[in-house]
Amino acid sequence: MWTQFMDMHSGGGLKEEPYENIYIEAPLKEAELIFYNMFGHNPNRVTCTCCGEDYSTSEYETLREATAFHRNCLHAYKNPKGEIVEQKEARVIGKG
């Protein structure tokens, strides 16, 4: 299980960490504790009340799934065999 912490740029920029996305190999609650121990602050804090949360969090089964969007995949999904399928280009159906 992987947890993604995506900096929401609330307040106008990146937080104290120089990363837009932080990936921690752990379920959400455990990853929040690891995040706190690594960076010294709660990932659920709200630095700027008019802008909202500091980080958006999401859980994924694999790092490959977690990073699909940032590797320019339109989407990633599991096929009936359980394999991850990534679509990197839009499919055009029909003409015009």
Distance from C-alpha of 27 to C-alpha of 8, rounded to nearest angstrom: 20
CA distances (Å), origin 64, targets 60, 68, 94: 9, 6, 31
pLDDT digits (tens, 9 = 90+) for 38-95: 999 999 888 877 777 888 899 998 888 888 777 777 666 667 776 666 666 555 555 5
Enumerate residues 6+ apart whose C-beta is below 8 A from 71.
86
pTM reported for the whole predicted model: 0.72
